Amino acid sequence: MFRNSAERMRPVDVGRTVSVLLPVAVDGPYTYRVQNGLELAPGDIVRVPLGPREIVGAVWDDVPDGSVGHNRLRPVAHRYDAPPLDPTIRKFVDWVANYTLTPRGMVLRMVLRAPGALEPERAVEAVRIAGPPPERLTPARRRVLDIAADGAPWSRPALAAAAGVSSGVVSGLIEAGSLAVLHLPPPPATLPPDPDHARPRFDDGQSEAAEALRKMAAEGGYGVTLLDGITGSGKTEIYFEAVAETLRRGRQTLILLPEIALTTDFLDRFARRFGERPAEWHSEVSPRQRERVWRAVASGEAKAVVGARSALFLPFPKLGLVIVDEEHDGAYKQEEGVTYNARDMAVVRGHIGGFPVVLSSATPSIESRVNADQGRYRRIELTTRFAAAKLPEIRALDMRLHPPEKGSFLSPVLVQAMEATLAAKSQTLLFLNRRGYAPLTLCRHCGHRFQCPNCSTWLVEHRFRGQLVCHHCGHSEARPDRCPVCDAEDSLVACGPGVERIAEEVAARFPEARRIVLSSDLLGGVQRMRDELEAIRRGEADIVIGTQLVAKGHNFPLLALVGVVDADLGLAQGDPRAAERTFQLLAQVTGRAGRAGGDSHAYLQTYAPEHPVIAAIASGNREAFYAREIEARRVSGLPPFGRLAGIIVSAADRAGAHAYAGTLRRAAPIDTIAMVLGPSEAPLAVLRGRHRFRLLVQAPRGFDLQDFLRGWLAAAPPPRGSVKVQVDIDPQSFL
């Protein structure tokens, strides 16, 4: 009775409320009042008050919270005239948040990355001749009209400048009706690719794979295909067939690449195949262009996007295909903020959206290989290189038998091969995955080692810059002339090599050769790296010395010799993924050689030629590596046979981090299935001034790890002071 009368007293429209998810570190949406005249539906992008300011959010699917009195709710301020977020991306945001144990707002934030894109792009203002000259025709006015005489549109300042007059003269001519203002539409962010622009001719090994992918895209529907083909087999050309078919169906395609900013070559290849470049999405794209791409994706106008992992969170309304190229690459894992693996989340997005996903690699991740072996993914295999190209002949070079001369890092065998390659006018790549000159500097006199003041790491000498640098926090200091501890002069020695030091040795041995050193330290940033990569492709270097930047995906047609300076480097790390990572890196880098035909060679300098990873690479027996590694993971219940989550507890002081890690451990639910390991001090014990302890949770496949963790963290005493807890589901890094 009471309830009814209360309801009747309420004016009809006042009761409307709506849930709005905001891009802040909060899991649930906020409830707002909807004012008369505003029609809102889930997915609409709105501006709402939050505290003293207004922020952009999205209407969400949750039922609005009815517990707050309607009169105490604040109203939605504005609805943007932008396309609403489609239900599949809303579900995706919820899914990713739930899986990674991140507040939903933080995941939405990745979707709303280009706030300027919500307003329509402003039209370009121009002036153009529109009528007869005015009666009062001054020389200045005449000059303007002469220039504009051909009828082409001019921007006002450009026209005034060209005529050498003030802008007032142009305004006067507009008032007089001789010139008219017009508004030109902004140029399109991207032009539609043509699926039939230049279709390749596939060879025998390729056509079946190409046809299978084309058919998969034509049928649509969820499914994951692992395109597992050796380097140079033509995987890109083949998955382009799936892209073409998706274009024909009028749906959007996303291609993810791990190092997109450096792969301008890829954009050209796309343009050769489809007549237009795809839209690009990565950190090197200017903010304005990002807004235009965001808008073009949201409107459905952008049919093909090539991007870094964050492109997965673009608001595609008609996504029909995602390709994850180099799917094994560690760059797909975001380690800060929302810790997600874009490869895995691409599969989730395909599942939610009901479309196919292609994972492509010459060295698939163990996870994807097992998924294919067990029938969850379809596997398409390519075992030969395209056309005349052959794989390089690979040899493990036992450094105990062929040691380098004193003070040098290259074995005489490798040096000889380099001489032969130079004589044949082909290119050599020396690969060492270590930036700088030397990874450690110490004082010969007192033994002092230079350490980062913020991290538990040695400072790396960068001799070109004359600096000692921390590769974890960026700290750098000038390399002193004397030891800061014992004051000895000229006592500092560089221990071990980085690429700069290898470059020094190459310069001494081959003074005539044209050399390029490539690492992310290159002055001039991304543009310079692109230029250098292009120079290598054109054959403007005889010897390239580089870090993993050169190992990935590039096509260097003249490259005939690869020397891996320290093949054992990655194996020393000893974490559960060290073998896999090293195998992938060595297979990728040796695979750069011989891509355009002719004999090619690769040497792995090693002190452990019998190590299974080195042996598998040297013998070319990929399957031996996979079989062994998969069996090892199965026996120890490691991914993908089991699930892992890392928990990192950090604090400004060691005692604080240690104490809370212990508290957390003691709060762990007693569980007979999940195993909690640790806490132990992290291998990278101090990072950016924060002391770190790690816990690791291991559980069988199928165990609800998220539920377990959520319950545990909710029940544990909350961290205080500077203590922070970070959860890393499916960790890649164990540092």
Contact positions vs ligand ADP (CB under 6 A): 200-203, 206, 229, 231-237, 386, 555, 595
Q: What angle do CA 184, 190, 192 make, to 5 degrees?
A: 110
Least distance from C-beta 193 to ligand ADP, angstroms? 17
Residues 291-350 that bind Zn ion (CB under 5 A): none
Binding partner of residue 206 among ligand ADP, Zn ion, none, CB under 5 to 8 Å per kind?
ligand ADP
Binding partner of residue 454 among ligand ADP, Zn ion, none, CB under 5 to 8 Å per kind?
Zn ion
Separation of CA 444 from chain center: 42
Residue (31 or 231) nearer to ligand ADP, CB: 231
The three-state secondary structure class of 231 is coil
| Distance (Å) of CA 550 to CA 278, 282, 517 | 23, 19, 10
Is the Cβ–Cβ distance between 303 and 316 less than 8 Å? no
- Options 143-151, 473-481, 502-510, 562-570: segment touching Zn ion (CB under 5 A): 473-481
Asked if 472 touches Zn ion (CB under 5 A), the answer is yes
Residue (171 or 555) nearer to ligand ADP, CB: 555
Asked if 454 touches Zn ion (CB under 5 A), the answer is yes
Least distance from C-beta 98 to ligand ADP, angstroms? 34
Least distance from C-beta 566 to Zn ion, angstroms? 23
Residue (475 or 633) nearer to Zn ion, CB: 475
Is the Cβ–Cβ distance between 693 and 682 less than 8 Å? yes
Cis omega (within 30 of 0) for bond into 609: no
Least distance from C-beta 248 to ligand ADP, angstroms? 19
Separation of CA 565 from chain center: 27
Task: Please tell me the distance from the alpha carbon of residue 325 to that of residue 330, in angstroms, as a whole number.
Answer: 12
Is 474 buried (19+), middle (13-18) or exposed (0-12) by CB count in 10 A? exposed
Is 365 buried (19+), middle (13-18) or exposed (0-12) by CB count in 10 A? buried
Binding partner of residue 202 among Zn ion, ligand ADP, none, CB under 5 to 8 Å per kind?
ligand ADP
Least distance from C-beta 472 to Zn ion, angstroms? 5
Asked if 515 touches Zn ion (CB under 5 A), the answer is no
What are the DSSP E strand ranges found in 247-355? 252-256, 279-281, 304-307, 319-325
Is the Cβ–Cβ distance between 265 and 237 less than 8 Å? no
Separation of CA 126 from chain center: 39
Residue (103 or 232) nearer to ligand ADP, CB: 232
Asked if 475 touches Zn ion (CB under 5 A), the answer is yes
Least distance from C-beta 329 to ligand ADP, angstroms? 13
Task: Please tell me the distance from the alpha carbon of residue 424 to that of residue 513, in angstroms, as a whole number.
Answer: 13
Binding partner of residue 475 among Zn ion, ligand ADP, none, CB under 5 to 8 Å per kind?
Zn ion
Least distance from C-beta 688 to Zn ion, angstroms? 7
Binding partner of residue 726 among ligand ADP, Zn ion, none, CB under 5 to 8 Å per kind?
none
| Helix (H) or strand (E) segment spanning residue 50 | strand 45-50
Burial 594-610 (b: 16+ CB within 10 A, else e): bbbeeebbbbbbbebbe
Least distance from C-beta 215 to Zn ion, angstroms? 52
Binding partner of residue 472 among Zn ion, ligand ADP, none, CB under 5 to 8 Å per kind?
Zn ion
- Options 111-119, 447-455, 583-591, 662-670: segment touching Zn ion (CB under 5 A): 447-455
Asked if 473 touches Zn ion (CB under 5 A), the answer is yes
Binding partner of residue 95 among Zn ion, ligand ADP, none, CB under 5 to 8 Å per kind?
none
Residue (385 or 475) nearer to Zn ion, CB: 475
In degrees to the nearest 10, what's the CA dihedral of 190, 196, 198, 199? 130
Binding partner of residue 455 among Zn ion, ligand ADP, none, CB under 5 to 8 Å per kind?
Zn ion
Residue (23 or 594) nearer to ligand ADP, CB: 594
Pairing of strands 601-606, 393-398: parallel
Binding partner of residue 292 among ligand ADP, Zn ion, none, CB under 5 to 8 Å per kind?
none
Asked if 735 touches Zn ion (CB under 5 A), the answer is no
Least distance from C-beta 595 to ligand ADP, angstroms? 6
- Dihedral sign for Cα atoms in the order 228, 229, 230, 234: negative
Asked if 456 touches Zn ion (CB under 5 A), the answer is no
Least distance from C-beta 336 to Zn ion, angstroms? 15
Is the Cβ–Cβ distance between 257 and 331 less than 8 Å? no
Contacts of 112 (CB under 8 A, 6+ apart): 23, 45, 56, 57, 58
Least distance from C-beta 243 to ligand ADP, angstroms? 13
Binding partner of residue 452 among ligand ADP, Zn ion, none, CB under 5 to 8 Å per kind?
Zn ion
Task: Please tell me the distance from the alpha carbon of residue 369 to that of residue 195, in angstroms, as a whole number.
Answer: 30
Number of residues that bind Zn ion (CB under 5 A): 7
Asked if 509 touches Zn ion (CB under 5 A), the answer is no
Least distance from C-beta 723 to Zn ion, angstroms? 20
Asked if 470 touches Zn ion (CB under 5 A), the answer is yes
Asked if 452 touches Zn ion (CB under 5 A), the answer is yes
End-to-end CA distance of the chain: 65
Residue (454 or 573) nearer to Zn ion, CB: 454
Q: Which residues pair with 357 in a beta bridge?
A: 224, 322
Residue (548 or 698) nearer to ligand ADP, CB: 548
Structure tokens at 413: 């065998």
Q: Which residues lie near Zn ion (CB under 5 A)?
A: 452, 454-455, 470, 472-473, 475
